[in-house]
Structures are given as C-alpha cells and as structure tokens.
Amino acid sequence: MSDRLPGFNTLAIHAGAAPDAATGARATPIYQTTSFVFDDVDHAASLFGLQAFGNIYSRIGNPTCSVLEERVAALEGGTAALAVASGHAAEFLTFHTLLQPGDEFIAARKLYGGSINQFNHAYKNFGWNVVWADSDDPSTFEAAVTPKTKAIFVESIANPGGVIVDLQAIAAIAKKHRIPFIVDNTMASPYLIRPFEHGADIIVHSATKFLGGHGNSVGGLIVDGGSFNFAGDDRYPMLSKPRPEYGGMVLGETFGNFGFAIAARVLGLRDLGPALSPFNAFLILNGIETLPLRMQRHSDNALAVAEHLSNHSKVSWVSYPGLRTDRYHNLAKQYCPKGAGAVFTFGLKGGYEAGVKLVSNLKLFSHLANIGDTRSLVIHPASTTHRQLTDEQKTQAGAGPEVVRLSIGLEDTEDLIEDLNQALDAA
Amino acid sequence: MSYFTMLVELPCPFPYVPAMDHSNYPNDYIRGILNSVKTIALVGASANPARPSWIVTKYLLERGYDVIPVNPGIAGTELLGKKVYGSLAEVPGPIDMVEIFRNSEAAGPITDEALALDPLPKVIWMQLSVRNDEAAAKAEATGIKVVMDRCPKIEFGRLSGEISWQGVNSRILSSKKPVLSGKGFQKLGLNRP
C-alpha cells in the first residue's frame, strides 16, 4: 500500500495482521504456546537483553497478542500497545510504570466502580495515592495538582454511562504541569473517540467490552501515544534511569516514542505477570474486525431506546448525551459526533422497588454486570454493584435507588423497546 | 550466496528525490537505502551493551551489514569483533552509509568529515532525535541521500515486520507474507513479494 494513512475500517481489519510468515495462514493464528525456540544462543542473549525484536515466552509477548497490540495502537493512532489480561491489569501496569510509593495521581470521580475500588483500596498497598476530581469541572484537576502528581486519569465516556468528559480542557492542565494524561477509552472505543487527538498521552482499554464486543473474553490494552517525553525526566525512573534488570539500559531513551509501552511490558508485564491468553487475543481481534459496524449500530440503537424511554410515563429521567436535551449533548457533538455509545442510565418513578421488578421482568435484556456485548444488558446498581454503599454515596456515584443502567446491544430496536415496555408495565 | 548479498546486487529501486520532506519519509525511500548499503560507518559507537549505539551495531551486524565502529575514545579496540576507528578519514575502503550517533550539533562537523571522503558515501543517516537541516542540505547538494531523526534498527524492524512482535505500530499494512530471512524464524527480511 502507499504511505497514505488507511481509513479506520481498513485498519480495523488489517493493522498488525499480515499472513503468517511460516505457513501463509491468512487469519491470525492462535499461537497457543508458552515459549519460542531461539535461533541460536546469541539470538537468545539478544532477546533477553532487549537488543532484538522477537518472542521468548508468552508472559512477555506472544505473536497472537502482538497482532492485537498493533491493531489497537493503529486504531487509536498510538506508537505501540501492550495487551494484558484485563482492563484492570492495563490500569495496574500503567500506574506501575509511572508511580513510586508516596506518589499521587488525580482521577475523575465518575469512573467504572471497579476502578474506584482499585484506586481507593488496592493501590494504597503500593503507596499510590488517588486524589479525586470532578470531570464536569476541569478546574478541580488544576486545584488537585501537587509536586507529587504523576498522572491524571479519566474515562472519555464515563461510567455509569451518559457522561462525556471535556478531554481537551483536562489535557491542557496536564500539559501545563507536564503530567501524563491517561484516558480510559473503553466506553467510546476508538471508533467514537480518539483521545490522542484531544491531548491524551496514554490510553487504556478493557477490551472485554466493545473491542471484543461479544461478551466472551476478558482482556485489556495499554496504548502509548508517544507524546510524553520521559527521557531525562527524573520523576519517572522506570523510563529515565538506568535499569539494573537490563544492564543499565535507559528504556525511555533506547525505545524513543514507544518507550512507555516497552517499559510496561519488560518491567510490568514481565515481573507482575498479568498476560493475556492468545486465545482471548484471537477472539478480541475477531471482534475488532467489525468494531466500526458494531459501534455505529450500538449508538444508533441506544439513541432509539433512550428516545423511547424519555417519553415513557414510568421513567422520570434519561441520561444519554445523544438526546438533544441532555446536559452533555454539546460535548457529545464535539467529541463523538458519530454517536454517544451504547451505555446509559435512566431513573424510574417507582424508585428502588421498581428497579428490582424491572430487571426481574425483562426477557430479552440480560441482568448481569458487564457492558459492550452484542446482547442488550441491564443492571440495577443499587441492588447489585453499589448495594454496599449508603444512599448518599449511591446518589453521588450516579447509582441512586431509582437508577437503571442499560448497555444496548445489536438486536432490533423494536424488540428491545417491546421488552422494556412489558417490563415497565409490570414494574 | 547469502540473503544480503542478493539484496545488495539489486538495482537501486528508487529515484533521487531532491526536496526530501525530512519529517515524513516514504517507506520506499528508507527501504531503498537499507537495501542498497552494505558498509556502514557508525560514528559514536559505544562499548557499553546498554547503549542504543551498541544495540544498533549488533542488530545491523546480525542482518549482514558490515558495520565499522568509529569513536576516537576507543579507537584501536575491538567492538563486537570489529576494529574501532578514530575518525571517518581513518576507515580504509569506501563507506556506503555514515550513521551519526551523536547530538544534532555534532552532526554538522561529522557531515563535513563525511563530505571529505573519497569516494563519497551514498547515505548520511542521523540517529533518532538527531536532526541538523543545514548539514542535510549540504550533503543533499552533492547527491547524497539523507535520513534524520530515525533509527535504522527501528526502520528495519518496521519494514520487515519484526517490530510488530513488540506491539509497535509499524504503520504498514500488507496482504503479503513477511519474508523469513534465512535460519530460524525470528528474523525477517526487508522485501515482501
């Protein structure tokens, strides 16, 4: 092909996936092997010393996983990526590469509940201290910056759905203070929003959701935007200091604008171990081939269902940025003009009891704790994921007693609406 | 006949482009250079295996290039089995490509030294993060091809497909098989069919 940048649909199918060099297999093979034979002793030494490109052991890298990595790096417009066992592992290895004990990072308060738990509790064991800010008010990020701040973290379309974050405003604050800006792009996928174009330095994904898209594989991705210069920056010793593990190599210098992805691999994935299975990588790759088609349908279906619910007599409110009256509608037009994604929340006039009844009465929607499946999904956070919180905490988290979250799938909208109607009638 | 001998006997597949855009090289321009050079004088060679210049020297040697290390500080010693020279002028025999592993400022006088060679090198390549437009213009005026702010190891890895094993965005799509370059499975060649 010419050097012209191919379009998104082409990249979704082809990026990273040439025919197999040894067999000519056209679909990406599942390299279900732990280890790879070295060409000779010297070659082995070169690989262990990071002096040659190649495969050693599937905890560190695997040819099926690397196709997925290049695919997502290309779709996001990044320099490199790292596939890991889950979205949580992607966050963990990202922060492990950037933070030392006693460091701080600023995170938007509106996040996936699992991320809130990870930041509030698990990270405390490492001395990584989260400072919460309000993604609806970028000035709260500015106010939270201290000399210990090593990263800023937001979701592009934020949980529990229906929140669009002003990435450029927060990126400007990160840039001003020379802090890497990390964006979790799980809910949008690169089809709807490409955060590097809005100032992100690092992107993380739960590939479990829209990238895989079929609800069959847990996985995560870290994408290096290549935009943050870590070389010579003492605040990030994993990248700027000689690494004793690699004979004194300085990773941020040796690997230039993909040094962050390499460091996350050879210092994080290698030593901490949350590797992605090649089989999961294969399924996620298959999913990505249809990502543009699916994301458009997800968004179109979600808008149709949100419009219907906003006119329903038992519904008190709908929070979906695709709706013209929504508070995030202008941000949606700016950041994701093709659509506002599949996930949104709405409130039931009947409160907690109505929420419990609704999820019990639905026949097509599946009651479970995931998003981004071909199937439509429903959850009543107050009685499930958020049940341990006080009512006040629930409301703050956007999970009040009356709130229901939907992840709209790829079915016919007439069938989804009929199912919601019958369940609401009975609720 | 080794793989690389075959490659260097191919005619140069690209035309001379006088006004090269040095922030955006066509893949064919880089591939043409890596296919056409054999002898590479690497200025700023290091004996420290943790340094990028040592790694690049080793990588290029493994891929059949005749890399000649140049560094006055370690002149006369051996580096990866190759004799180290103190300057470009001391290197015996013609040099196809001068690879500059020094800072952007130092690239000026090193380019001048390269332009004093007889015969002239075909290519002056400044390493990733090294850019000196004045030196580049001077070299290009004599017909020498110039690459700046690129790493030959990364470019070889990108064009061959090897770098994709590290999850790096090669920015290359192809429905053609990568070429296995001789023994083993973990080295690929530059030229897909």
Given CATH 3.40.50.720, say whether it is the number of domain B27-152: yes
pLDDT at residue A218, as a whole number = 98
Judged by CB atoms closer than 8 Å, whether chains meet at A21 and B151 is answered as: no
**Dihedral pair phi/psi, residue B192, rounded to 5°:** -80, 150
Q: Which two tokens stand for residue A47?
A: 């690989």
CA distance B193 to B178: 8
Domains and CATH numbers, chain A: 8-288 (3.40.640.10), 291-426 (3.90.1150.10)
Task: Name which of A49, A66, A242 is nearest B166 (Cβ-Cβ).
Answer: A66
pLDDT tens digit string along A32-86? 999 999 989 989 999 999 999 999 999 999 999 999 999 999 999 999 999 999 9
Q: Give the strand pairing for A220-224 and A202-206.
A: antiparallel
Q: Give percent helix, percent strand, percent coil of chain B, each to the nearest 5.
A: 35, 15, 50
Task: Tell whether A254 is within 8 A of chain B (Cβ).
Answer: yes
* SS3 state at A223: strand
pLDDT tens digit string along B152-172? 999 999 999 999 999 999 999
Closest CA to A191 of A307, A342, A69, A17: A342
pLDDT tens digit string along B98-148? 999 999 999 999 999 999 999 999 999 999 999 999 999 999 999 999 999
Q: Is the pLDDT of residue B14 over 80?
A: no
How far apart, in Å, are the Cα atoms of B72 and each of A29, B43, B90?
Answer: 49, 9, 10
* SS3 state at B30: helix
Mean pLDDT over each residue of chain B, to the nearest integer:
90
CB A372 within 8 A of CB A208: yes
pLDDT at residue B83, as a whole number = 98
For B171, the closest chain A residue by CA position comes to A74
pLDDT tens digit string along A213-271? 999 999 999 999 999 999 899 999 999 999 999 999 999 999 999 999 999 999 999 99
Task: Name which of A19, A54, A74 is nearest B169 (Cβ-Cβ).
Answer: A74
pLDDT at residue A392, as a whole number = 83
* SS3 state at A18: coil
CA distance B12 to B31: 10
Q: Residue A14, by phi and psi: left (phi above 0), alpha (psi -120 to 50) or beta?
A: alpha
Closest CA to A77 of A175, A171, A195: A195
Task: Tell whether B172 is within 8 A of chain A (Cβ).
Answer: yes
CA distance B123 to chain A (A): 22
Closest CA to B133 of B29, B3, B25, B21: B21
- Which parts of A193-314 are beta strand (E)? 202-206, 220-224
Average of pLDDT values for A2-9? 86
Is 0.90 exceeded by the ipTM?
yes
Q: How confident is the model at residue A1 (pLDDT cuts 50, 70, 90)?
A: low
How far apart, in Å, are the Cα atoms of A170 and each of A139, A154, A317, B124?
Answer: 8, 9, 28, 42
Task: Tell whether B164 is within 8 A of chain A (Cβ).
Answer: yes
**Virtual torsion, Cα A264, A269, A272, A276, nearest 10 deg:** 140
Task: Name which of B48, B128, B165 is nearest A53 (Cβ-Cβ).
Answer: B165
CB A43 within 8 A of CB A54: yes
* Sheet of strand B66-70, all strands in order from the earlier edge strand to the far edge: B66-70, B39-43, B97-100, B123-126, B145-147
Least confident of A24-33, A397-406, B91-100, B130-139: A397-406
Q: What is the DSSP string of B65-124?
A: -EEEEE-GGGTTSEETTEE-BSSGGGS-S--SEEEE-S-TTTHHHHHHHHHTSSSPPSEE
CA distance B57 to B53: 6
